[in-house]
Amino acid sequence: MSPPTRLLFIRHARSVWNEAGLWQGQADPPLSEAGLVEAQRLAERLRRMPAIDHIYASDLQRAQTTARIVAEALGRPLTIDPVWRERGIGQLEGLTTDEIIARFPDAWASRLHGSMHAPGGETPEDVLRRAVAGCEAVLARHDRQTVAIVSHGGMILATLVHLLGLSPIGFTRLNGGYHTAISQVDIIDGHARLERLNDHAHLELP
């Protein structure tokens, strides 16, 4: 059996908006001080894992900064690509969860059946199209290599739904939510296999 193409989807470290409980979408707040520590812990974890050939990251600074810390620690090349940006969530950006529930109850309820329909934001179909384009580009460039992609919770979720061939209800079944968590998909002879999901063991260390 040929070696797999290994994709490590990694959520960015904590931003100042995460600490304030604000939904970000494509807003661009920086990492918090705690987020910088998380990124260093992630780098140490990845240093102990099988070697990464290339790193990709969203151009939003919370992902880009996380990826630069990792790339510098591992001495690996980094490509910044806006295809890995978080989903645009329109009128929900900058709101707390309680504010979203109060102001946009229909949008909040839509989460029970699939990806949230964010007013004024990207549609779930738009996000899936970006996920498809991003995966096709990476797989074409890095056959049988290990690639880390530092992105965002919503975008990682859409990408996993695409790669695993899940229906829209898959958005309610998977979770990539912890900051710097690693979700691993191995591509073997064209078939995707989920090997780990939302692995954040490095944040549990003392």
86-144 pLDDT, tens digit each: 999 999 999 999 999 999 999 999 988 888 899 999 998 999 999 999 999 999 999 99
* Rounded-to-integer distance, Cα 153 and Cα 181, Å: 9
**pTM value?**
0.95
- Residue 23 vs residues 101, 118, 130, 146, 172: alpha-carbon distances, Å: 12, 11, 20, 31, 18
Pick the catalytic residue: 38, 86, 93, 122?
A: 86
Closest by Cα among 88, 114, 93, 113 to 103: 93
CATH number, span 5-203: 3.40.50.1240
* Rounded-to-integer distance, Cα 67 and Cα 73, Å: 10
Spell out the domain ranges in the chain. Answer: 5-203
Catalytic annotation present for 12: yes
Pick the catalytic residue: 12, 162, 179, 202?
A: 12
148-195 pLDDT, tens digit each: 999 999 999 999 999 999 988 788 888 768 999 999 999 999 899 999
Catalytic annotation present for 86: yes
Q: Which residue shows structure tokens 């992630």?
A: 42
Contact status, residue 125 vs residue 115, Cβ threshold 8 Å: no
